Amino acid sequence: MKEGNKNRKEEILSHHTEVNVDEIWAAIEPQVDLINAEKKRKKRFLIFFLFGAALLASSALYLWQYGNEGIVENIEIESHNGIANKKEETTLQEKEKQSTQKSQNIDNQSLENKNLNTNDELINTNIKDKVNANTNSKNPSESAINSNKQAALDVNSNYFIKLDGKGEILPNNDLIIQQANTTTTKIIEEKAATEKEFSLAEKSASTPPKPLTLSPQISTLHLRLPNSIPEIGEPDIPRKEKGNNDNEDESQLPGGKLSFAVSANTGISFINRGLAINTDSEAAFATLSLRRESETLLEAIHYGVRGKLTHKSGFSFSTGTQYTVMTERYNNNKIEVASDSIEGIVKRIVQFNGDTLDIAGTLPRTTTYDYEKEIYNRYRMIDVPFILGYEGGMKEWSLGIQAGVFVNLALKTSGQVRNSTTEDLNIGDNQADIFKDKVGLSYYGGIYIRRALGPNLDVTVAPHGRFFAQDFNVDSYTLKQRYSLIGIQAGLSYRFGY
Amino acid sequence: LNEKQLITACKKGIKTAQYELVKRYSGMLMSVCRRYVKDEPTAKDILQESLIRIFKNIDSYKNIGSFEGWIRKITVRCALGYLDKKHVRRESSVADINSDETTEPLALDNLGVEDIIKLVQDLPPGFRSVFNLNAIEGYSHKEIGKMLGITESASRSQLTRARKLLQKKYTEINLKYKSA
């Protein structure tokens, strides 16, 4: 018996009624198209979100992995340069020593032969890249300095000839290095050559000295000569230390280690809405279905101003205010049929003699109302963002990541939604019944690319995401809706400080 | 296309597959609609709404359980939603709480499915919903109570009344047959 009933049940369940499929398809096709378009939009949103997240993650990873390593690399390069310079200098030193020894030997012989007193040696230096050794002067009293673009060197003390066109003689502790290490190397090389040439000049007094060609970069020549024997050792050139220079740079910065910037931003975002049942009931399900069918998500636009404090290390903190408008479209296309009755002629009898007899009565009346309603629902919010960021980059381009929270100060809604009784509900007038007046915190994250337009003016482009932590609805409402936004922001900022 | 391929294609939003789904299942779903509402145009409207809901929510179908069962469930909910909108279901459900709950087995063996559907359509809307949900769809009274917003006992009593009415109508039809 039970088996029979079961079979009957199955028979009823699997029963097919003849339907005109094309007619049904034609009726639902426009809505199916809308559903497909919405799905594609959601898919694009997801792809955009995933791409943004991947970009964010990879940027963060890059900065974390290579952000510090970049500095290390520079240091290594510097130290490599140092080693290279040192090696170069060591080689040069050896060469110098060799040449000095040779020079000394030759000089000693020359000096002995010519009875020259090195204490009173005259060196005429031609500023036009020529060094002439005045080997003819044998009388110390006749020592002189040719003032016409020439410099003199007293070999008894450590002096420096400054070949800057003024022919100044500077004491050791007044040495100023104005060029980089590479220049120093050149100086040393040229010094060695000068010494050699000088010695050769000493050796053959009659032979005119070979001209010394100095690099155009050279502004100061350092020569250290001993008391008795002319000796050129390793120049005591203080290196340009990064830290010291940084300190010097920092002291020159108007804002020290921090810079402050104000920016004006605007952006557009995709809206992703989660709409679900708050209380499990048939009425809630019906409302959910109605609202899903009647509402279309559009876009969110925001405007804001922010102040940003950036540390020299790249970390930043920004806050300000932001105004956001999320827009949705509400459609209600419906046909309502109202029936009532009116008084009228219900029957007319035509008699054989041609007279007519009207019988009055109540007539049924049917009125069809065709509604086509399109309303834009808007959710306006004022928020205060608190955002931490980190940025790194080179020259005029910078890449940064930022994350933080938005504290919502106010939510104001306008528009209409459907409710369970198919009536439209004004969400502006009845906001307190459906929506909160504040939606608490929302989490923000994104990356940004900054490009300097001028010494203080920057333009930024920032793909970002914002996720609301709370539902927008009051607890008593049958549904709960929550939002997340994925978008892009552009802004102009003016920097004060470095 | 087999069922699984058809579902996958519909999830991707391929229109030919969606048309195929309509073609394949709209007959069965129309039968469901006709069991809940009496007039054909309303049943057609419910069917259309159900199909739209099916396409909208097809992503949430995870290939667990019968697809037919899933789409039937959606159609039933649509039909109940329609009845709820029209205040039909609730109005007719209020009157029958204190009814006699004795039930006799329902014997509709001689009738074809179309005849049964017509008999069910003739039931008052509240009885019709409870009878369909319990006797045909297999929902428990507890579930029916939740779905229709009535108590469990009200669901039971309405079913009893529905059965009695059906039996009465069936007897009438039988008598007509015999006399004919």
Q: What stretches of A204-268 show up as alpha helix (H) in DSSP?
A: 242-252
pLDDT tier at B86 (50, 70, 90 boundaries)? low
pLDDT at A216: 43
A15 touches chain B (CB under 8 A): yes
Taking an 8 Å cut-off on Cβ atoms, the answer to whether B148 and A282 are in contact is: yes
Percent of chain A with pLDDT over 70: 58
| Minimal C-alpha gap between A429 and chain B (Å) | 24
Q: Which residues of B are less than 8 Å from A421 in CB distance?
A: 85
A28 touches chain B (CB under 8 A): yes
* pLDDT score of A325 more than 50: yes
d(CA A290, CA A300): 23
pLDDT tier at A384 (50, 70, 90 boundaries)? very high
Rounded average pLDDT over A14-25: 86
Name the residue facing A25 among B22, B77, B138 (closest C-beta). Answer: B22
In angstroms and rounded to an integer, the radius of gyration of the C-alpha atoms of chain B is 18
Top mean-pLDDT range of A51-55, A158-162, A413-417: A413-417
| Minimal C-alpha gap between B180 and chain A (Å) | 26
DSSP-derived secondary structure letter, A60: H
Q: Which residues of A are less than 8 Å from B59 in CB distance?
A: 39
- Provide the mean pLDDT of chain A: 70
d(CA A67, CA A417): 50
A82: nearest Cα among A260, A316, A241, A243: A241
d(CA A296, CA A293): 8
A24 touches chain B (CB under 8 A): yes
Taking an 8 Å cut-off on Cβ atoms, the answer to whether A14 and B52 are in contact is: no
Taking an 8 Å cut-off on Cβ atoms, the answer to whether B13 and A35 are in contact is: yes
pLDDT at A188: 46
* pLDDT score of A230 more than 70: no
Question: A9, A28, A331: best mutation site toward chain B, by most B Cβ within 10 Å?
Answer: A28
d(CA B170, CA A484): 58
Taking an 8 Å cut-off on Cβ atoms, the answer to whether A25 and B136 are in contact is: no
pLDDT tier at A100 (50, 70, 90 boundaries)? low
Minimum mean pLDDT range among A119-123, A336-340, B22-26, B130-134 = A119-123
Q: Per-residue pLDDT tens for A395-451?
A: 788 899 999 999 999 999 999 998 766 678 889 888 888 999 999 999 999 999 999
A151: nearest Cα among A141, A136, A166: A166
Name the residue facing A12 among B13, B15, B116 (closest C-beta). Answer: B116
At A423, is the secondary structure helix, strand, or coil?
coil
A339 touches chain B (CB under 8 A): no
pLDDT at A130: 38
- Provide the mean pLDDT of chain B: 82
At A131, is the secondary structure helix, strand, or coil?
strand
CB atoms within 10 A of CB A72: 10
Taking an 8 Å cut-off on Cβ atoms, the answer to whether A13 and B59 are in contact is: no
* pLDDT score of A142 more than 50: no
| Minimal C-alpha gap between B7 and chain A (Å) | 14
Name the residue facing A282 among B116, B137, B149 (closest C-beta). Answer: B149
Top mean-pLDDT range of A6-10, A47-51, A90-94, A437-441: A437-441
* pLDDT score of A287 more than 90: no
Long-range contacts formed by A419-425: CB under 8 A, 24+ apart = A419/A287, A419/A290, A420/A283, A420/A284, A420/A286, A420/A287, A420/A290, A420/A478, A421/B85, A422/A290, A422/A334, A422/B85, A424/A332, A424/A373
Name the residue facing A40 among B13, B56, B105 (closest C-beta). Answer: B13
* pLDDT score of A371 more than 50: yes
d(CA B57, CA B60): 6
The residue of chain A with its CA nearest to that of B84 is: A283
Minimum mean pLDDT range among A99-103, A433-437, B81-85, B170-174 = A99-103
* pLDDT score of A173 more than 50: no
* pLDDT score of A308 more than 70: yes
Q: Which residues of B are less than 8 Å from A293 in CB distance?
A: 52, 56
* pLDDT score of B134 more than 60: yes
At A409, is the secondary structure helix, strand, or coil?
strand
Taking an 8 Å cut-off on Cβ atoms, the answer to whether B52 and A32 are in contact is: yes
